Structure 1
Amino acid sequence: MSDKTTQGNVCLTPGAVVGIVGGGQLGRMMAIAASRLGFFTAVLSPDVNAPAVQVSHRHIQGEYDNRRALSELTERADVVTYELEQIPLEGMQWVAENAYLAPNIHALDVSQDRVKEKAFLNSNGVPTTAWKECRNVADVETALSEFACDSILKVAFGGYDGKGQAKILRDAGASDIAEIWDRLSHGQEMVTILEATVDFDCEISVVVARDKAGNVVPYDPVRNHHENHILATTIVPAGIDPAIGEKAQTLAKTVASALEYVGVMCLEMFVTTDGELLANEIAPRPHNSGHWTLDACFTDQFEQHIRAICGLPLGSGQRFADATMQNILGTEREKVGLHFPNHNARVHLYGKEEWRPGRKMGHVTILDRLLCDPAA
Structure 2
Amino acid sequence: MSTTSSSVAKPILPGATIGIFGGGQLGRMTAMAARAMGYRILVLDPDPACAARFVVDGCIEAGWDDSREAANLARGCDVVTLEIEQISMASMEAAASFAPVRPGGAMLGVIQDRIEQKDWLQRNGFPVGEYRAVRSLEQLREAVNALGGKVFCKSATGGYDGRGQGKVGFNPDAKAEAEIQGAWEALGERAGVVEKAVSLEREISVLVARAPNGEVKVFPAAWNHHEEQILAWSVMPAPLSSAMEAEARRIAEEIADTFQLEGILAVELFCTTDGKLLVNELAPRPHNSYHASERACVTSQFEQLVRAVCDLPLGEVDIVQPAAIANLLGDVWLDADGKLREPRFDAALAVPGVRLHLYEKHLPRKGRKMGHLSAVGASADEAIELVLRAKSLL
**Alignment TM-score > 0.5, same fold:** yes
The Cα shift of 1:361 comes to 1.0
Instruction: Kindly report which structure 2 residues correspond to 1:341-352, keeping only aligned pairs within 5 A, or say none.
Output: 341-352=350-361
Q: Deviations over 1:222-257 (max 9, x none)?
A: 110011111010012211222111111111111111
Aligned residue in 2 for 1:192? 192
| Structure 2: distance between partners of 1:85 and 1:24 | 12
CA distance in 2 between partners of 1:154 and 1:161 (Å): 11
The answer on whether the counterparts of 1:152 and 1:166 sit within 8 Å (CA) in structure 2 is yes
Mean Cα deviation higher: 156-165 or 81-90? 81-90
Q: Distance in 2 between matches of 1:158 and 1:351?
A: 24
Q: Give the corresponding residue for 1:177.
A: 180
Secondary structure of 2:12's partner? coil
**Distance in 1 of aligned mates of 2:248 and 2:201:** 15
- Report if aligned partners of 2:71, 2:91 keep a CA contact under 8 Å in 1: no
Q: Secondary structure at the match of 1:332?
A: helix
Tell me which residue corresponds to 1:168: 168
Q: Could you tell me how far apart the structure 2 residues matched to 1:71 and 1:96 are?
A: 8
Query: Distance between the aligned counterparts of 2:354 and 2:188, measured in 1?
Result: 43
1:239 aligns with 2:239: yes
- Hey, what does 1:362 align to over in structure 2? 371
For the residue of structure 2 that corresponds to 1:141, the secondary structure is helix
2:4 is aligned, of 6, 16, 21, to 6
CA distance in 2, matches of 1:176, 1:5: 47
Structure 1 position 146 matched with structure 2 position 155: no
Bigger CA drift: 301-310 or 249-258? 249-258
Partner of 1:374: none
Question: Displacement, 1:68?
Answer: 3.4
Return the offset for 1:137. 2.0
Displacement of 1:107: 2.1
- Distance of 1:370 and 1:144 partners within structure 2: 42
Matched to 1:76, the amino acid is G
1:133 counterpart = 2:119: no
Give the equivalent residue in structure 2 for 1:117. 117
Match of 2:64 in 1: 64
- Extract structure 1 runs of 4+ deviating beyond 4 A: 170-176
Q: Relative to 1, partners in 2 of residues 1:183 and 1:263: Cα closer, same or farther, differing over 3 Å?
A: closer
CA contact (8 A) 2:18 2:39 kept: yes
1:207 aligned partner? 207
Q: Distance in 2 between matches of 1:110 and 1:369?
A: 40
1:267 aligns to what SS in structure 2? strand
Identity %: 38
Deviation at 1:138, TM superposition (A): 2.1
Question: 1:336 aligned to 345, 352, 358, which one?
Answer: 345
State the Cα distance separating 1:352 from its structure 2 match. 0.8
- Sort the Cα spacing of 1:216 and 1:7 in 2 relative to 1 into closer, same or farther, 3 A: closer
Q: Deviations over 1:110-143 (max 9, x none)?
A: 1110111111111222111100111112222222
Cα offset, 1:183, TM superposition: 4.7
1:235-288 Cα distance to aligned partner (Å, 9 max, x none): 122112221111111111111111111111100111000110011000110100
CA distance in 2, matches of 1:370, 1:240: 14
User: What displacement does 1:212 show?
Assistant: 1.0
- 1:144 is displaced (CA, Å) by 2.2
Q: One-letter code of the match for 2:322?
A: D
Q: Which moved more, 1:321-330 or 1:134-143?
A: 134-143
> What SS does the corresponding residue of 2:3 show, helix, strand or coil?
helix
Unpaired segments of 5 or more residues in structure 2? 334-342, 381-394
Q: Which 10-residue stretch deviates more, 330-339 or 307-316?
A: 330-339
Supply the distance in 2 between the matched residues of 1:179 and 1:298 (Cα, whole angstroms). 46
Q: How many residues align?
A: 366
Residue 132 of structure 2 aligns to a residue whose secondary structure is: strand
In the alignment, the residues of structure 2 paired with residue 233 and residue 262 of structure 1 have an alpha-carbon distance, to the nearest angstrom, of 28
Paired residues of 1:205 and 1:267 also in contact (CA < 8 A): yes
2:384 matched to which residue of 1? none
Q: Is the 8 A contact 1:201 1:272 kept in 2?
A: yes
Q: Which residue of 2 aligns with 1:222?
A: 222
Note the residue ranges of structure 1 that are not aligned, 5 or more in a row. 372-376
CA apart distance, 1:155: 1.1
Instruction: Tell me the distance in 2 between the aligned counterparts of 1:261 and 1:119.
Output: 18
- Under a length normalisation based on structure 1, what TM-score does the superposition of the two structures give? 0.92
Q: Which amino acid aligns with 1:357?
A: K
Q: Answer yes or no: is the 8 Å Cα contact 1:205–1:221 preserved in 2.
A: yes
Normalising by structure 2, we get a TM-score of 0.88
CA deviation after TM superposition for structure 1 residue 215, in Å: 1.7
Q: Distance in 2 between matches of 1:111 and 1:165?
A: 17
Q: Assess if the C-alpha contact under 8 Å between 1:17 and 1:39 holds in 2.
A: yes
Change (3 A) 1:177 1:342: closer
**Contact 2:237/2:319 (CA < 8 Å) preserved in 1?**
no
Q: Contact 1:320–1:370 at 8 Å: present in 2 too?
A: no
Q: Is the 8 A contact 1:204 1:221 kept in 2?
A: yes
Give the counterpart of 2:362 among 329, 346, 353: 353
Give the whole-Å Cα distance in 1 for the aligned partners of 2:51 and 2:5: 27
